[in-house]
Chain A
């Protein structure tokens, strides 16, 4: 992982130093860091020469731009109507049971954060969830255990720092 300040400079070089590059830059930082610290928002503001409050105002509007420290793997379980009809609660319970965390929390080893999200556009394969950018559909509690085990094993192989 790059130092944040270097990453921000690099992103600004790539997308341009103007207001309409703000979202891609924020997304780039979240991609690596999983969240936006106050420090990185201030640095982005400095780099783009706009007020830090504007960066904060924009960042906090978007659900996928977290501004609280997150785990390496962010689980977002869809809770909108079809998924909720097809067993989203059982999925949540299976995850909570396995990781011993509740909605909005992060595991102690910093490997997982658990969140709910609105419609993922996968209603015909409900229930569905995202882990980072990966999509998982037709979920069952058994499948959850398999998927999460897979992510836990990646840790041993040192792959959890890449997407």
Chain B
């Protein structure tokens, strides 16, 4: 085992800072444009997994003319292996509330929502208390802004932003066509900024310390730190804040159990990386010149050699088949066919070449499915089948 690995820890998100009142009042005394520029120069990208530049999102929404706009904090954390948002909301709720209100000030919204997944219902009482205290302070400084909690009811797909709007509007959580994007037409057809919990928490850091402090962390195209939810075959499961851009081999050195066979980066909708590719894989957004860059919402699941990758894939596909909203055919039928297909190959009812047919189906789903759920089923499917083909057959 080499000893010169470099895993850069960071400590911003969970740092205990009792200065949200100051951060809020200072931020809203600055011109909105200045705050947007701060975000843009920090190069913060969405921490939910998609990685859209946050500053740009706020900028577009701020430029749209509308009497009513909304800010929504996406706390529908459903990706298997992700549990950071729950921790943020229970440990540092005021950072998130402050960021929601600052966003409201920047884009000109008077209402904010936290869409909290039903599984996290137990967080609600404490969060409500925090919101009360927060709104009380807003009144004191004459900031006209309110925050409400909207509870989900156990649907993974509602983490998809447009499905989330549908759900808030009292409908089935079925994703909409894009465009129009939420920045123009979101909740109730009004311009809406929707950000992940962690993204908002990072904006707090940026508004407090300035963009440079954030930008100095990480690597090119992947600036700043990020929370990682570490689980699976690891001696130290938990939540860790690390700088982006690390190589997967450094990560495994720190978190593996000396027998790590593969790591699932980005949850069931992400990619499975086998041991032989650890050193060439980096964790961050696309754009690095060397090696492969994998973006992630922060889910890192480790598997050691006692695990069957067939069982892993079977578990994922069951998940997707259940959580697919059923609206578009590629996803509704595709998930079920992939699941049936791997079972048939395993039982010998189909020959091994059937796997290649399924890889094509997964590719078709990537191209034709309506939303991110259906499009990303192929990520884990292809990366598992291609790297562990023999485990699928025997």
Contacts and interface: CB of A to CB of B under 8 A. Distances in A.
A126 interface: yes
Contacts of B363: none
B115 to A, nearest CB: 10
Nearest to B232: A82
Given A118-B322, A121-B77, A64 B83 contact: no
Contacts of A119: 78-82, 156, 319
A20 interface: yes
Nearest to B148: A24
Interface in B145-175: 150-156, 167-173
Nearest to B188: A20
A34 B226 CA distance: 38
A27 interface: yes
A123 B268 CA distance: 13
A22 B151 CA distance: 12
17 contacts: A23-B151, A27-B118, A27-B151, A58-B172, A61-B155, A62-B173, A64-B153, A81-B232, A81-B301, A82-B231, A84-B311, A118-B80, A118-B323, A121-B78, A122-B83, A130-B119, A133-B122
Contacts of B319: 80-81, 118-119
B377 to A, nearest CB: 15
Interface string A27-71: 100000000000000000000000000000110011111000000
A24 B151 contact: yes
Classify chain B's interface size. 35 or more
A147 to B, nearest CB: 15
Contact of B168 (A20, A27, A124): A20
A125 B316 CA distance: 19
Given A81-B268, A117-B154, 20 more contacts: A19-B171, A20-B168, A21-B170, A22-B171, A24-B150, A26-B153, A62-B118, A62-B153, A65-B154, A81-B316, A85-B303, A118-B80, A119-B82, A121-B119, A123-B80, A123-B237, A126-B231, A133-B122, A134-B122, A135-B122
Interface of B: 77-83, 85-86, 117-122, 150-156, 167-173, 188, 229-233, 237-239, 264, 268, 301, 303, 307, 311-312, 315-316, 319, 322-323, 325
A120 interface: yes
A21 B167 CA distance: 10
Residue with the greatest number of chain B CB neighbours at <10 A, chosen from A79, A122, A124, A126: A124
B122 A123 contact: no
B154 A124 contact: no
B18 to A, nearest CB: 27
A61 B323 contact: no
A112 to B, nearest CB: 18
Given A81-B80, A84-B315, A123-B301, A23 B170 contact: yes
Given A64-B118, A80-B319, A23 B80 contact: no
Nearest to A133: B121
Contacts of B154: 62-65, 117
A109 to B, nearest CB: 25
B167 A81 contact: no
B111 to A, nearest CB: 12
A123 B83 contact: yes
- Nearest first, the 6 A-B pairs at minimum CB distance are A22-B170, A63-B154, A64-B154, A124-B237, A123-B231, A62-B153
Interface in A59-117: 61-65, 79-82, 84-85, 117
Given A81-B312, A133-B121, A121 B82 contact: yes
A20 B169 contact: yes
Contacts of B325: 61
